[in-house]
Amino acid sequence: MNKLQKIAELSKKASRILSTTSPKIKSNIIKYAAKQIKKDVTKIENANRKDLKIAKSKGLDDAMIDRLLLDKSRINAISKSLNEISKWPDPVGKIINKWKRPNGLEIQKISVPIGVLLVIYESRPNVTTDASALCLKSGNSVILKCGSESLNSSKALLTCIHAGLKKYKLPKSCVELLASSNRNSFLSLLKMDDYIDVVIPRGGKSLIKAISKISKIPVLKHLDGICHTYVDDTSNLSMARKVVLNAKMRRTGICGATETLLLKDDIHVNDAVCIIHDLIDAGCEVRGDEYIAKYVLDPYYNKIKKANSKDWQTEYLAPIISIKAVKNVKEAIQHINQYGSNHTDAIITSNKKNAELFLKEVDSAIVMHNTSTQFADGGEFGMGAEIGISTGKLHARGPVGADQLTTFKYVVKGQGQLRS
């Protein structure tokens, strides 16, 4: 038995222990880890500095560096997130549905853990703690494979999770981290469907496609965040300006950042100008179609680049936005369904009918009205955290929190009934 198979086998055994662990113990482990993270802030910062130094020496881009960074504020946010997860209602053992058959059989549909999860991610070290806590809360064991760029940070954070497991006498194999910096070191795990139940990859499209092609295990996909905001001609200008700026520029390197802005083609010229000028003034590169140029005068005119068809299909993860004029809400919906990634899309409007049409017909995991796409986040949804945003339609869709990391079984109770 090789090392990876041994890890998978131990994770399987740990999952059986976790599946019967009380809600109180699971919550206490997570709370203890949150407390330990606050205690170990300096150690975590030092580990993160090592990762940042290596990342910069390799020439990683600004978006990747931002995702990798752990300062005191972000470390405290991780601790807070774990505390929120610990308080969330236990998702295991819920009676989802129940009914009684004419023959007297009582049937219940009850939530249960999935089993063993393999979570593969790139530069975000906070995924280490989010995934660990969500899996523990939902009674699942987890094998983590972080990107080489976040290995030191992830190890430091995992020490805090293991401290919680040790405190409450659960095996370390409930949460395993593959320590190799080799990106391909985990590939054989993708064939171990006897031990691992679900693979959750977070990263670039090429990584997720490669995993989906190789894996014998079901894959819960977190694909690109090609998110849109559509501003129609009935929108409140003050609101629209603030929402668009936040949706794009609050943090440009996250999957919920708006990448394409759609403007109704007869929106008041001054409204369009204000929105576009706000973005440029904030340091955002604007790539517009032929209609957008008519809205903008010098000195802004020369700062707008011409958009091409590739821009509508690009997740920039940078201070860049593509802008297109559309005839109406139906054309906006058509554009989003053609070029979007089924992640998150928003409409800014005062027209109730347009809002309802948009929310109904845009085929995305999350659709929004009069708010920023950057709220596409499990923490902001009150879940404490998320493992990712699932853009598929099977099992889980949207933010994947503890509830989404369960499946179900049927419990049937009888009094000696026989089938004729």
The per-residue pLDDT for range 367-376, each reduced to its tens digit, is 999 999 999 9
Which residues contact residue 319 at a Cβ distance below 8 angstroms, ignoring those fewer than 6 apart?
248, 249, 252, 282, 283, 284, 285
Stronger pLDDT, 338 or 186, i.e. the higher one: 338
- The model's confidence at residue 362, banded by pLDDT at 50, 70 and 90, is very high
Rounded CA separation 252/320 (Å):
8
pLDDT at 357 over 80: yes
CB 384 within 8 A of CB 85: yes
Looking at residue 182, what is its pLDDT? 64
pLDDT at 183 over 70: no
Portion of the chain with pLDDT greater than 70, in percent: 98
Mean of the per-residue pLDDT values of the chain:
92
- The model's confidence at residue 1, banded by pLDDT at 50, 70 and 90, is low
Q: Under CATH, which architecture does the 227-375 domain have?
A: 3-Layer(aba) Sandwich (3.40)
pLDDT at 203 over 70: yes
- Provide CATH 3.40.309.10 ranges for the chain: 227-375
- Name the pTM for this structure: 0.85
- Provide CATH 3.40.605.10 ranges for the chain: 3-222+400-413
Rounded CA separation 80/77 (Å):
5
Pairing of strands 175-177, 258-264: unpaired
Among 133-137, 269-273, 391-395, the range with the most confident prediction by mean pLDDT is: 133-137
3-222+400-413, CATH topology level: Aldehyde Dehydrogenase; Chain A, domain 1 (3.40.605)
277-331 pLDDT tens trace: 999 999 999 999 888 877 776 677 788 899 999 999 999 989 999 999 999 999 9
